[in-house]
Amino acid sequence: MKKYIFGLVVAVLTFQACSNFEEINIDPNNPATVPAEMLLPPIISGGVGTMTASGTRAGQYVQHLAYLGGTSESDGRYNLTGASWREEWNGAMRLIKDVNQMKEIAQAAGQPHYEALAYINKVYILSLMTDAFGDIPYDEAGMGNVDGLEFPRYQAQEEVYTRMIEDLETANQLLSGVPPAVAVGRDILYDGDPTQWRKFANSLKIRILMRQSAKKDVSAQVAAIFNDPAQYPVFTSVADGATLMYNNSSDFYRWYIQNPPSDGSGVNFGDNSRISVTLIDLLQNTTDPRLRIYAAPTRNSYLANASSSSVPLEYRGQEAGLSSTEQTALYTQTGLNEGDFSVIGRRIRQENRAFLMTYSELLLMKAEAIQRGMGVNGAAADVYRQAVDASFGKWQQVGSQTQIQNPYIDDNQRAAYWAIDANQYNPARGLEQIAEQYFIDSFLNGFEGWASWRRTGVPEIHPGPSVLSAIPVRYVYSDNEQNNPSLAEWVNQHMGGDMPDHNVPVWFQP
């Protein structure tokens, strides 16, 4: 009997010890699940990183930028393979796993505002992906950790856009029911304001609808949003735009340089990425004040002007796609050298903002919808002018800094621009004017400029004289992704068995 009691005591003590051991081994600083708000900052910054880093390549294709001949031969001359876009694909798809987790946590915790933000961020990130790659997984994206979904199912781009519109509608409805007192924690985009996220969701919905508008009639959906601001609030000011502000050294923005050059210019004249001749000419031909925001004066004219203020500053764009031999021949033919071309301007180099979507972009789409008779209220000429003014409005004076210290667009520059008759809206070429302004405003967002050009064909751009292919119209599935059996099956069933290269148009292109 004593042996039995002793054994029972040992068993009880052993069980308690095991229970205590399990409790001790639970790390309170590394919980199995985290609050939804903890996932939000890396999701936002990761999505923006996809746009700013990968979108720089898209900005080169649409000729916001052009690289000095010979320094980026593979990209600039379109010698491209699946390896060229490996991280563009992998990085974005990794983010979607976190987005899915945030949605699940929010649903379990009864937090509709975080659930809505999960939908919005998923749409934003995957809209970049489908615009660039075409057909992608959407419903099953980011679920490779779920049994049976290791290889997510691909969906046609048209279906992906439909699913995005549905998810943004869900987000709009979820946010419409959030009490005013509710704030979003750790919100690095809109500082906790659910109303601003709702405006972003509906504005993004317009972008996705207009993206399809050359292939299907979206007039009723576009008009329903623009004509009913109570049900579908959208951006109404420059401040409403989806603009991520970076506030410390760890948030390193593609265009931001912490250590300015010692010559006092604030410009990296030795940068390989130059402003393209397409963009420079478009800005110069219209006396557009954004020229001095986007581009720096040429190094040679800057140094000459510093020695004598009577020497004017010059702005010159770089022709895209030149080989090293062609670049050298250009110097010989023109008497120019590498110091005679404009690089990215001082203001951009000092900026710490990333533009996900702007108020100007939304207004330009509204002007287009009005011009095309899509049932949207308003006058195209009025909305067009508001759109250009909104683009100017992104570049206001910083504190008391001067134009030399940090260029900005003031009222006098704005008035001078509109005093030029050719800059007024002309319905006969209204759609072309709108697309040109879209191209200009989307500088620093190469994804959006490239997508707009593929849809509208504006502005007219030309490849270099001896590039290896036509201007790319899609990103190629990464070499790793091409081993995915789901992709291989999709290509066999829907693309004739041929993996698409960078010259195969995506669905939304007319």
**How far is CA 352 from each of CA 29, 92, 246, 285, 404, rounded to the nearest angstrom?**
32, 22, 5, 29, 18
- The whole-number average pLDDT for the span 404-415 is 96
pLDDT confidence of residue 81: 82
Candidate from 43-52, 156-165, 291-300, 367-376 with smallest mean pLDDT: 43-52
User: For the residues 224-238, what does the mean pLDDT come to?
Assistant: 98
**Would strands 154-155 and 136-137 be described as parallel, antiparallel, or unpaired?**
antiparallel
> The dihedral of CA 184, 185, 189, 193: what is its sign?
positive
Give the per-residue pLDDT at 74: 73
pLDDT(260) > 90: no
Report pLDDT for 84: 83
Mean pLDDT estimate for the chain: 91
Q: With bands split at pLDDT 50, 70 and 90, how would you rate the model's confidence at 22?
A: very low
pLDDT of 318 higher than 70? yes
Position 7 pLDDT exceeds 70: no
User: pLDDT tier at 14 (50, 70, 90 boundaries)?
Assistant: very low
Residue 256 clears pLDDT 60, i.e. is over it: no
Reply yes or no on whether the pLDDT at 212 is more than 90: yes
Please indicate whether residue 151 or residue 7 has the higher confidence score (pLDDT).
151
Q: Residue 385: is it exposed, middle or buried by C-beta count within 10 angstroms (0-12/13-18/19+)?
A: middle
Query: Are 485 and 151 a contacting pair, CB within 8 Å?
Result: yes
CB of 94 closer than 8 Å to CB of 460: no
Is the predicted pLDDT of residue 356 greater than 90, yes or no? yes
Phi, psi of 88 (to 5 degrees): -55, -40
Domain map (residue ranges) of the chain? 36-254+350-494, 273-349
Instruction: Kindly tell me if the per-residue pLDDT of 12 is higher than 50.
Output: no
Higher model confidence: residue 7 or residue 104?
Answer: 104
pLDDT per residue as tens digits for the range 386-407: 999 999 999 999 999 999 999 9
Question: Which one-letter amino acid corresponds to residue 370?
Answer: I
| Contact by Cβ (8 Å): 414, 378 | no
Average the pLDDT over 362-384 and give the result.
Answer: 98
pLDDT tens, 434-457?
999 999 999 989 999 999 999 999
Amino acid identity for residue 379 in this structure: A
Residue 384 · residue 434 · CB < 8 Å: yes
pLDDT recorded at residue 21: 43
Take residue 257 and report the two structure tokens written for it: 């340089």
3 Cβ neighbours under 8 A, 6+ residues apart: none
Task: Identify the CATH assignment for 36-254+350-494 out of 1.20.1510.10, 1.25.40.390, 2.60.40.420, 2.60.40.10.
Answer: 1.25.40.390
pLDDT of residue 32: 58
* Structure-token pair, residue 470: 């036509």
Return d(Cα 142, Cα 145) in angstroms, integer.
8
pLDDT at 270: 87
Alpha-carbon span 35 to 76, nearest angstrom: 44
Provide the pLDDT confidence category of residue 264 given band limits of 50, 70 and 90. Answer: confident
Residue 15's pLDDT band (cuts 50, 70, 90): very low
